[in-house]
Amino acid sequence: MKPNIVVMLSDDHAQWAAGCYGNSELRTPSMDWLAATGTRMQNAMTITPVCSPARATFWTGLYPSQHGIHDYIGTGEYRDAPWIESETTLGEILADAGYRCGLFGKWHCGTPETARRGFDEWFCIGRRTGPHAGLQEYVHNGTRYTETGYQTAVTTDAALRFIGRAEDDRPFFAFIGPVATHTPFADHPERLVESYRGCRFSDIPTEAAHPFGRFTGEGRKAGAADIREWRAQYYAAVTEIDEQLGRVIDFLAQRGELENTIVVYTADHGLNVGHHGLFGKGNATRPLNMLEESVRIPMLVGGWNGLFGRQARSEFVDHADLFRTLIDVAGATVPEAPAYPGRSFLPMLTDAAALPDWKETQIGEYGDLRMARTHRHKLIRRHGRGADQLFDLVADPRETTNVIDLPEYAGIVERLDRELERAFAHAADSPKSGLRVTELREHNPVEAWRGEQS
């Protein structure tokens, strides 16, 4: 029997912000349980450290230079036009493999009103993802309606109703997309916020401001007078999501379905909450950044009794790999085209052995910025939109010193340039390539490549 699949993919939840990844003050018992009994991917990273392109990579298995979403999609005219309608999504592939599929929460890859092909249930957060509590707008199978409550709980309720319906004997795929860890840093359960107001926040380093460029948007919040309150709200949001993850796990266990359900917890990208002296992710600076806190994400896999549990893996994995892995779990067929950059890491989840020939370099892109990162070095090419950079992450883990022009690193730069060329060879002539981003349609009114760069 094919295993059920549950994916909870949250918004702006950085890898550092969970007990199972070493945070000493955050309470995340459900995530910790999933990590302790399943597999914790220690070097999981996003391809793009901003919402829409990261989510589109999860759904399509493609890099932004293939699927064409390079920045977050704004509201109004930006969201109304089609975005990845021409791409085959994970939901379609799993539906074709015999799964009943449901989406609950954030979509952010185009208009929320229109359910994608393959979904039996579409319970999407409306056009405004905030505030996190109170009267909210949702779209349920094409019909708009409002409901009052904490958004994370309301969307989880809908997912549990879907999971609990035994209409047929098909396995299910439930995608749950919480938004709680995204701004605004407000409106989270007071019982949780109050419990964090006295924290030392000792896991957030106190350090000089990121020296490469200026702060913009969310990035400016780090100097605000109420930074402690924002941090307490962010920590509360993490625990709020963790409670809903626990509800899903408990519900599956009570129904006797947990051992036949692969449960994945991950996020679209990371977040700085004072790290490097800034708030936000890749678009919190000009030029754009690929800081570790921006690109590192949690990725926990457990539940299903077909897994080899109680392990932590150090290999690089990303959303393109997760796409291929879930298709592998379902025994589904990957479309012959286009060229999918990811690779299934299911063998890592079912065996403690190393997977031969696994990648040693993690690739990323954001518009015309491209990144190649090994376990020690990170190369960033900006193609004229700011200075190129190389960081030695062992000697300089806080990414404060650009060593790209030092002669002793010339060989490393040359090798990582080859890795970038190889990774994007499939998209070299693509009309959706990030190197042509100024020719593409606008995603929002503040794209970095159309505005001031200094």
Q: Hey, what domains does the chain have and what are their CATH numbers?
A: 4-356 (3.40.720.10)
- Maximum distance among all alpha carbons in the chain? 65
State pTM to two decimals: 0.97
The percent of residues in the chain predicted with pLDDT above 90, rounded, is: 87
Among 138-152, 215-229, 242-256, 406-420, the range scoring the smallest mean pLDDT is 215-229
Please provide the average confidence, as pLDDT, over all residues in the chain: 94
Among 30-34, 78-82, 134-138, 413-417, the range scoring the smallest mean pLDDT is 78-82
Q: How far apart are CA 49 and CA 54, in angstroms?
A: 7
Check residue 452 and give its pLDDT. Answer: 53
Give me the mean pLDDT over the 83-92 stretch: 95
User: Residue 127 pLDDT more than 90?
Assistant: no
Q: Residues 263-308: pLDDT tens digits?
A: 999 999 999 999 999 999 999 999 999 999 999 999 999 999 999 9
Check residue 99 and give its pLDDT. Answer: 97
CA 332 distance to own-chain centroid = 23
Give me the mean pLDDT over the 197-216 stretch: 94
User: Residue 432 pLDDT more than 50?
Assistant: yes
Q: Residues 332-384: pLDDT tens digits?
A: 998 887 899 999 999 999 998 888 899 999 999 999 999 999 999 999 999 99
Categorize the per-residue pLDDT at 453 as very low, low, confident or very high, splitting at 50, 70 and 90.
very low
Give me the mean pLDDT over the 12-34 stretch: 98
Between 446 and 126, the higher pLDDT residue: 446
Check residue 129 and give its pLDDT. Answer: 78
Give me the mean pLDDT over the 220-225 stretch: 74
Of 232, 228, 300, nearest to 265 (Cα)? Answer: 300
Check residue 454 and give its pLDDT. Answer: 37
Q: How far apart are CA 451 and CA 449, in angstroms?
A: 6
Categorize the per-residue pLDDT at 122 as very low, low, confident or very high, splitting at 50, 70 and 90.
very high
CA distances to 89, 351, 364, 390, 441 from 178, in Å = 20, 30, 24, 34, 28
The percent of residues in the chain predicted with pLDDT above 70, rounded, is: 99
- Please write down the long-range contacts of 24-28, taking CB distance under 8 Å and 24 or more positions apart: 24/202, 24/203, 25/196, 25/199, 25/200, 25/201, 25/202, 25/203, 25/235, 26/203, 26/235, 26/238, 26/239, 27/239, 27/242, 28/238, 28/239, 28/242
